[in-house]
C-alpha cells in the first residue's frame, strides 16, 4: 500500500469528514521514524516494541515508509537487540512459519544506536542514522515525521528532551513533524510535576507532547464516551437523583514481585489512583463535550478535576500487606501504602452528594479493574427485595472485558420470589472474531495520527496533582499510617466499613460469572 493510500484510509473512526485528521499529518512523500529511547529496558521490550509489532502486522506501519530506532546506553549490536526482542513478539504457542516470518520482517526495520541520555555525541549519531533512513525513503526535505517514545524514568526526561530539541528535530516544518511521547509517572507531587512540565514545555509546544496513560487506551475506557452520550436511556439516569455512589476499582492478586524498591518510591496512590483511576473518573463524570474534537473533550475532563473537593482524612483508608517489607529493596520503616480507598466528592450540579470511591491494592484476593455505578433503592419496595442488593451498572475493564447491568428479576418457578441477575454484554462472547487491541497499540497510532484526545494535557495533569498532593505529603511525612492486611484478602476491613459509611451497599449471594462460548 502506498503512502498516499495509507493517509486517506487510516483515519480515526470517531471522526467525520470535517473533523478528520489533517492531511499534513500524513505527508505523501514523508518517511516515518519511530525512535524508542530506553530500548533495552523492560517497558520497551514488554510494551512498546510489541505494540509497534502489532501495528506492523495489521498493515498500519508500512515497511516502505517506517523505520524504527532503538536508543539506550547498553552496548549491543542491531542483531543483539533484535534477539532480545524476538521472544516478546513470537506468540506464546510458538506461532506458524508465517508468524515467524512476520516477526523477522519487523525486526529488520529496527536499528540500534548506543549513547548516553545527556550526551551530544550520541544524539548527533542518532540524527545521522535517522537522516540516512529518510534519504533512503526519498523523503522530501521537511516532510519526514519523527516520533520519539521515552520509555525512560522521568528523571532523565529534561536532558533527553533537550538533546532531541537541539540535535534530532525534523529540519523544517513543511508538513512533517516531531512528536514526543512521555510515560508516567509525571512527577511525585504538584511542585515536581509543574517543574517537569516547565522544563519540557520550554523545549516543545503542547501540540508536540503526548503524555501517555495506557488506561485511556483500553477498549472499555474508550467506550465510555459512546455509552454515555450515544444511548438515550442513560442520559436521564446519569446524575445525583438516581445514582447513589460510584466505585472505580483496581485489584491485583500479586505483590510487588521484585519491584519493591521501585514501587516504594511511589506507592499505590501515585502508581494507580492519581493517574489511571482519576482518568477513568473524569470520563464517568464529565459533561457532554460540544464535539469529539480532542480539546473539547479534554476541556470537560479538566472541569471535573477542578470541581473535586479537598480529600478528607477520615475518608481515606491506607493499607500495606504483610510481608511487603520482607523485600530487601524496601526500607524496614517504609510507610508506603500498597492499598488505598479514597472517597472523592465532585462539587457540581450533576454530582453533589454522590461519593466516588476509588480503590486500588496489591496482593488482594482477585485481579480486576472495573467501574461500578450503584443506583439508589427503589422507592416503595413492594417485593421486599432490598436486602438482595441494588441495581448496578458494571463496566469490567480487565480481565474478561464486559458490561453488565445487575437487576432484580423473578426467580423461575411457581412462587413470586425475586433474585438478582444481569443483562450481560461480554466482549469475548459477543465479539468472538474481533481482536481487542492493546492500549499501547491504539495510543501509538493516535500519536502518529496527531490525535491527542486520549493523552493528558498539562492543565489536566496540574489539576490531578493538586487533588492528591496534600494527602501524599501527609503519607510521606508519616502523618497517615497504612493498616496491615493479609495477602489474599479484600484489604483492611476498615476500607469496607468506609464504603458502607458513605453509602455503598455490598451485594451478598450474587456472583457475576462470565458467560462461556
DSSP assignment of 447-491, as one string? HHHT--TTSB-HHHHHHHHHHHHHHHHHHHTTSS-PEEE-TTBSS
Query: Distance between alpha carbon 405 and the CA centroid of its chain, in Å?
Result: 25
pLDDT tens by residue, 229-286: 988 988 899 999 999 999 999 999 998 887 888 889 889 999 899 989 999 999 999 9
pLDDT tens by residue, 350-377: 999 999 999 999 999 999 999 999 999 8
**Active-site residues: which are they?**
276
Task: Give the confidence band of 430 by pLDDT, cuts at 50, 70, 90.
Answer: low
Average pLDDT over residues 376-401: 80
CA–CA gap between residue 492 and residue 152 (Å, rounded): 34
Burial 396-433 (b: 16+ CB within 10 A, else e): bbbeebbbbebebeeeeeeeeeeebbbebbbbbeeeee
- Residue 362 carries which DSSP code? S
- Whether residue 296 contacts residue 15, with contact meaning beta carbons closer than 8 Å, is answered with no
CA–CA gap between residue 272 and residue 361 (Å, rounded): 9
Task: Give the confidence band of 17 by pLDDT, cuts at 50, 70, 90.
Answer: very low
Average pLDDT over residues 114-123: 92
* pLDDT over 60 (residue 27): no
Average pLDDT of the residues of the chain? 85
Q: Please compute Rg for the chain using Cα positions.
A: 24
Question: Could you tell me which residues come within 8 angstroms of residue 168 by beta carbon, excluding any fewer than 6 positions away?
Answer: 35, 123, 126, 127, 130, 146, 148, 178
Q: Which of 81, 9, 80 is nearest to 44 (CA)?
A: 81
**Which of 164-178, 272-286, 306-320 is the least confident region?**
164-178
* pLDDT over 80 (residue 140): no
14: exposed, middle or buried (C-beta count within 10 Å: 0-12, 13-18, 19+)?
A: middle
CA–CA gap between residue 95 and residue 93 (Å, rounded): 6
CA–CA gap between residue 185 and residue 517 (Å, rounded): 39
pLDDT at 135: 82
Q: Say whether 161 sits in a helix, a strand or coil.
A: helix
Q: Say whether 290 sits in a helix, a strand or coil.
A: coil
Q: Say whether 400 sits in a helix, a strand or coil.
A: coil
pLDDT at 247: 96
Could you tell me which residue, 283 or 92, shows the higher pLDDT?
A: 283
Could you tell me which residue, 379 or 445, shows the higher pLDDT?
A: 445
Beta bridge pairs of residue 464 = none
Task: Give the confidence band of 2 by pLDDT, cuts at 50, 70, 90.
Answer: very low
Could you tell me which residue, 170 or 514, shows the higher pLDDT?
A: 170
pLDDT at 58: 87
* pLDDT over 80 (residue 122): yes
Domains identified in the chain and CATH numbers: 32-183 (3.40.50.720), 216-432+458-502 (3.30.360.10)
* pLDDT over 80 (residue 54): yes
Beta bridge pairs of residue 250 = 360, 369
Could you tell me which residue, 463 or 140, shows the higher pLDDT?
A: 463
Amino acid at each position: 500500500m502506498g503512502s498516499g493510500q495509507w493517509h486517506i484510509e487510516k483515519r480515526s473512526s470517531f471522526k467525520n469528514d470535517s473533523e478528520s485528521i489533517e492531511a499534513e499529518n500524513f505527508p505523501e512523500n514523508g518517511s516515518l521514524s519511530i525512535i524508542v529511547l530506553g530500548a533495552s529496558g523492560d517497558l520497551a521490550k514488554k510494551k512498546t516494541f510489541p505494540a509497534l509489532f502489532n501495528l506492523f502486522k495489521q498493515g498500519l506501519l508500512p515497511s516502505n515508509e517506517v523505520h524504527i530506532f532503538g536508543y539506550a546506553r547498553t552496548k549491543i549490536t542491531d542483531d543483539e537487540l533484535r534477539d532480545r526482542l524476538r521472544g516478546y513478539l513470537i506468540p506464546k504457542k510458538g506461532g506458524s512459519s508465517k508468524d515467524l516470518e512476520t516477526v523477522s520482517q519487523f525486526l529488520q526495520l529496527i536499528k540500534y544506536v548506543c549513547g548516553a541520555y545527556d550526551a551530544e555525541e550520541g544524539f548527533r549519531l542518532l540524527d545521522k542514522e535517522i537522516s540516512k533512513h529518510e534519504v533512503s525513503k526519498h523523503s522530501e526535505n521537511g516532510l519526514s515525521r519523527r516520533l520519539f517514545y521515552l520509555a525512560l524514568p522521568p528523571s532523565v526526561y529534561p536532558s533527553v528532551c533537550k538533546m532531541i530539541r537541539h540535535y534530532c528535530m525534523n529540519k523544517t516544518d513543511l508538513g512533517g513533524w516531531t512528536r514526543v511521547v512521555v510515560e508516567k509517572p509525571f512527577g511525585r507531587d504538584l511542585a515536581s510535576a509543574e517543574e517537569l512540565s516547565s522544563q519540557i514545555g520550554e523545549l516543545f509546544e503542547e501540540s508536540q507532547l503526548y503524555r501517555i496513560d495506557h488506561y485511556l487506551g483500553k477498549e472499555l475506557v474508550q467506550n465510555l464516551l459512546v455509552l454515555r452520550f450515544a444511548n438515550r436511556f442513560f442520559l436521564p439516569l446519569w446524575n445525583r437523583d438516581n445514582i447513589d455512589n460510584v466505585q472505580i476499582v483496581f485489584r491485583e492478586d500479586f505483590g510487588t514481585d521484585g519491584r519493591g524498591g521501585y514501587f516504594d518510591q511511589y506507592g499505590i496512590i501515585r502508581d494507580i489512583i492519581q493517574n489511571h483511576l482519576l482518568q477513568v473518573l473524569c470520563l464517568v463524570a464529565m459533561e457532554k463535550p460540544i464535539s469529539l474534537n480532542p480539546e473539547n473533550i479534554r476541556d470537560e475532563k479538566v472541569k471535573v478535576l477542578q470541581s473535586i473537593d479537598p480529600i478528607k482524612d477520615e475518608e481515606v483508608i491506607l493499607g500495606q500487606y504483610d510481608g511487603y517489607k520482607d523485600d530487601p529493596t524496601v526500607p524496614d520503616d517504609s510507610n508506603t501504602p500498597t492499598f488505598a480507598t479514597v472517597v472523592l466528592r465532585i462539587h457540581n450540579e450533576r454530582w453533589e452528594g454522590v461519593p466516588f470511591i476509588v480503590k486500588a491494592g496489591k496482593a488482594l484476593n482477585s485481579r480486576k479493574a472495573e467501574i461500578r455505578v450503584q443506583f439508589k433503592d427503589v422507592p416503595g419496595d413492594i417485593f421486599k427485595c432490598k436486602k438482595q442488593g441494588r441495581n448496578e451498572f458494571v463496566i469490567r475493564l480487565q480481565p474478561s472485558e464486559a458490561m453488565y447491568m445487575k437487576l432484580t428479576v423473578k426467580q423461575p418457578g411457581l412462587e413470586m420470589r425475586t433474585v438478582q441477575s444481569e443483562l450481560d454484554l461480554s466482549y469475548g462472547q459477543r465479539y468472538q472474531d474481533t481482536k481487542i487491541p492493546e492500549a499501547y497499540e491504539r495510543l501509538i497510532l493516535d500519536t502518529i495520527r496527531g490525535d491527542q484526545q486520549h493523552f493528558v494535557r498539562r492543565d489536566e495533569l496540574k489539576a490531578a496533582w493538586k487533588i492528591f498532593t496534600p494527602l501524599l505529603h501527609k503519607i510521606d511525612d508519616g502523618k497517615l499510617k497504612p493498616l496491615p492486611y493479609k495477602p489474599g484478602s479484600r484489604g483492611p476491613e476498615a476500607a469496607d466499613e468506609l464504603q458502607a459509611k458513605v453509602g455503598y451497599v455490598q451485594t451478598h449471594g450474587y456472583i457475576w460469572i462470565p458467560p462461556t462460548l
